[in-house]
Amino acid sequence: MTPATATDALTLARDFDLRHLSPAFYANPYPIYHALRMHEPIKRMPDGSLFLTRFRDVQAVYRDPKTFSSDKTVEFRPKYGDSPLYTHHTTSLVFNDPPRHTRVRKLIAGALTARAIAAMEPGLVRLVDGLLDAAAGRGRIDLIGEFASAIPVEIIGNLLDVPHAEREPLRGWSLAILGALEPSLSDAQLQRGNRAVGEFVGYLQDLVARRRREPGDPQHDVLTRLIQGEGDGEQLSEVELLQNCIFILNAGHETTTNLIGNGLVTLTDWPEQRAALLREPSLIDTAVEECLRFESSNQLGNRMTTVDTEIGGVAVAGGTPVTLCIGAANRDPEQFAEPDRFDIRRDPNRHLAFGFGIHQCAGLSLARLEARIAIGRFVQRFPAYRLDGAPTRGGRVRFRGFAAVPVELEPADRA
């Protein structure tokens, strides 16, 4: 690194404030992540919170859920007040500690067994091939609106057995609710998020009433499983039930949409890697892992210290909010050789895209399956696909992805 570059990096690290980000950061946060890891890997924000960018520090926090709590009942009160967003985000699985977290996760995971996920593959292949057939007829596609986002909405809709005719609002509700998790919010974002929670809860109350009258198979229908609870009689409250149905959609929707979209765009930036995947379709499994690492769909996680502790040798007082920068940890040169190189053969690839420990994503196997089928079949069907104009970023720091990606297609038999 030249002295000028070193000076620039020091300035980037010194001036970084998660609540005041530049357009350049949204376009490409990785230079700032590298600067922080080099100069201030445990960065104190103006609000007193900490921002972690080293792999070892992020993983250490994940390993200790007692010291680093996921519960947001205190942290989210100033942000949301007494609102539908507050009720949702403090009740959903991801923002809770044991025993509530354990109880809800057990119910959800019971419907996401290896056998259940394997049984979804034929239907997923038919869904993806249908989307690709439609795209072939047009000769172009918006990778997000007409492909990537359609897949998880359909899969999660099937998991909850939401009637097809009632699925149209799901994506909009999910985007509005997750958008309210950004570090800095406008009044309009708060209003959209609260309205989405209210509308979603209203819809679910009716759906739950119908499912109580006509239960589905709890081995495959997550909603029926959540309603009936465990055999030992432990059941969710009505609020827990409704809010965790929202969580299931949200957790499986935007992150998987971003994984598919990010992966297909990244392959256009690294043509030699796309060529390798075309030659060796069996590389799709490691390619998906590299997509997860290289452009992590979920860039940030949050914890709160429950006691005085330390992180990476730095003393931290109890009650300190801690932001885990997953996107930075997954580009840490201490963990990954040439971290800014996209390598679909990378092995080992122990990234943190799905978190780690007790809060590791319960749906990770399903997300991997969706990405494997979607990315793998898209590349083989349209080996010469190319961007048809500049992609539009989603404008999120927590969830990294695109809002729209125009692509021109060329079928395999013409490539």
Q: For residue 39, what pLDDT is reported?
A: 96
pLDDT one-digit tens code per residue, 51-87: 999 999 999 999 999 999 999 999 999 999 999 999 9
pLDDT of amino acid 414:
53
CA distances from 2 to 30, 40, 65, 202, 328 (A): 18, 19, 40, 58, 22
Task: Domain count for the chain, please give it.
Answer: 1
pLDDT at 415 over 80: no
pLDDT of residue 384: 96
324 occurs within a structural domain: yes
Task: Check whether 250 has a pLDDT greater than 70.
Answer: yes
Percent of the chain scoring above 90 in pLDDT: 85
Q: Does residue 390 lie within any of the structural domains?
A: yes
Give the pLDDT confidence of 274-319 residue by residue, as tens digits.
999 999 999 999 999 999 999 999 999 999 999 999 999 999 999 9
User: 190: which 2 tokens?
Assistant: 């708060």
With respect to residue 6, please indicate whether it lies within any of the assigned structural domains: no
CATH number reported for the structural domain that contains residue 163 in this entry: 1.10.630.10
Whether the per-residue pLDDT at 2 is higher than 70: the answer is no
Chain mean pLDDT for the chain? 93
Beta-strand relationship, 309-311 and 406-408: unpaired
Q: Are 347 and 285 in contact (CB under 8 A)?
A: no
* Alpha carbons 221 and 226: distance in angstroms, whole number: 9
Residue 3 has a pLDDT of 41
Question: Does residue 20 belong to any structural domain of this protein?
Answer: no
Q: Pick the more confident residue, 184 or 36.
A: 36
State the Rg of the chain over Cα.
21
Residue 379's pLDDT band, with cuts at 50, 70 and 90, is very high
What is the per-residue pLDDT for 113?
85
Helix, coil or strand: residue 300: strand
pLDDT of residue 233: 63
Q: Is residue 98 part of a domain?
A: yes
Which residues form the domain of 252?
A: 35-414
Q: Is residue 360 part of a domain?
A: yes
- The answer to whether position 18 is within a domain reads no
Q: Considering the domain boundaries, does residue 2 fall inside one?
A: no
